[in-house]
Amino acid sequence: MPIYFNNAGQNVPITIESIGNNWNQVSVQRASGHPLYHWLQTENGTGEIWIENQTIVLTKGAGILIAPFVAHGYYPKTSDWQTNFVTFDGRLKNDFRKIIPSETFILAQNTSNFSYQVEIDHMIHLHKQEKNSVELSVACYRFLTMLSQGQKPVEEHALFKKYVTPGLQKMQANFQENLTIEQIAQELYISPQYFSRLFKKFVGQSPYQYLIDIRIRHAKELLVNQPDLPIQTIAIKVGFESVSQFIDVFKRKTQYTPKKFRQLY
């Protein structure tokens, strides 16, 4: 159960910082996460990952890539839990998020077309052949790219289904009401902070900003399709508390006042 370290991290775009296989995995707790992207995969037995307020079981062939500084822990569920692992380094380490879009973690599984375990073995082989730093860099890039392409659509993620989807539906159906993020989170039995964090992770913006965008979109439709409808009425119909707030937000989002926008169309 060897582990290998690489000191040439800044000499190539992407490389390994450490790597190993056939590792008799023990419990690990990282309250502050790891400073580099870190891959862990089960070779034998079963392990359990605690991350992002959920528990993930890694059976044989299943692996997880964890982003830097994401708190996590992992624990053997069976006494024979063996893993392979790799941490990624290199000159481009600060740009890895352009390859790996997830800000927290990615789950992956060996398939008939691609085995992450075989790739780990191959990278270990290249690392031991010290002259193959360029080939090792290419192998690391292929590994990260396959992880990125192998992601499930965000809509299939359990947390997205459980919390974000109902939140989206609530906002889309009730945008005209005096709706708050606290109300939505309460209906989902989670804190507003946790709901906001999940929402931004999956949707790419805060729930409040998403709600504002819905209101502005509907306001545009009313302004154009109902030219005789007073602006004050539109402001109320799409959920703004006052016409002044509506005009201010509308101008910030479109660069036009509602009246000017209506004139343009």
Which pLDDT value is given to residue 161?
Answer: 87
Which pLDDT value is given to residue 153?
Answer: 54
Instruction: Give the pLDDT confidence of 14-30 residue by residue, as tens digits.
Output: 999 999 999 999 999 99
Question: By the 8 A CB rule, do 50 and 73 touch?
Answer: yes
The pLDDT of residue 144 is above 60: yes
| One-letter amino acid for residue 58 of the chain | L
Question: By the 8 A CB rule, do 48 and 57 touch?
Answer: yes
Cα atoms found within 13 Å of the Cα of residue 116, Cβ hemisphere only:
29
Which pLDDT value is given to residue 2?
Answer: 75
Instruction: Give the pLDDT confidence of 153-170 residue by residue, as tens digits.
Output: 555 678 888 999 999 999
* CA–CA distance, 189 with 243 (Å, rounded to integer): 33
Which of 18-32, 38-52, 134-148 bottoms out in mean pLDDT, i.e. has the lowest? 134-148
Question: DSSP secondary structure string, 203-216?
Answer: HSS-HHHHHHHHHH
The pLDDT of residue 9 is above 60: no
With cut-offs at 50, 70 and 90, classify the pLDDT of residue 11: confident
The b/e string for 145-184 (b: 16+ C-beta within 10 A; e otherwise) is eebbeebeebeebebbeebbeebbebbeeebeeebebeeb
Question: By the 8 A CB rule, do 198 and 159 touch?
Answer: yes
Instruction: Give 238: exposed, middle or buried? Use CB within 10 Å, 0-12, 13-18, 19+.
Output: buried
Question: By the 8 A CB rule, do 28 and 47 touch?
Answer: no
Instruction: Give the pLDDT confidence of 53-111 residue by residue, as tens digits.
Output: 888 989 999 999 999 999 999 999 899 999 999 999 998 888 888 888 778 999 898 88
Which pLDDT value is given to residue 200?
Answer: 82
0.85 surpassed by pTM: no
Task: Specify the DSSP element, H or E, that contains 21.
Answer: strand 15-24
The whole-number average pLDDT for the span 41-48 is 94
Instruction: Give the pLDDT confidence of 211-262 residue by residue, as tens digits.
Output: 998 999 899 989 988 999 999 999 999 999 999 999 999 999 889 999 999 9
* CA–CA distance, 16 with 100 (Å, rounded to integer): 16
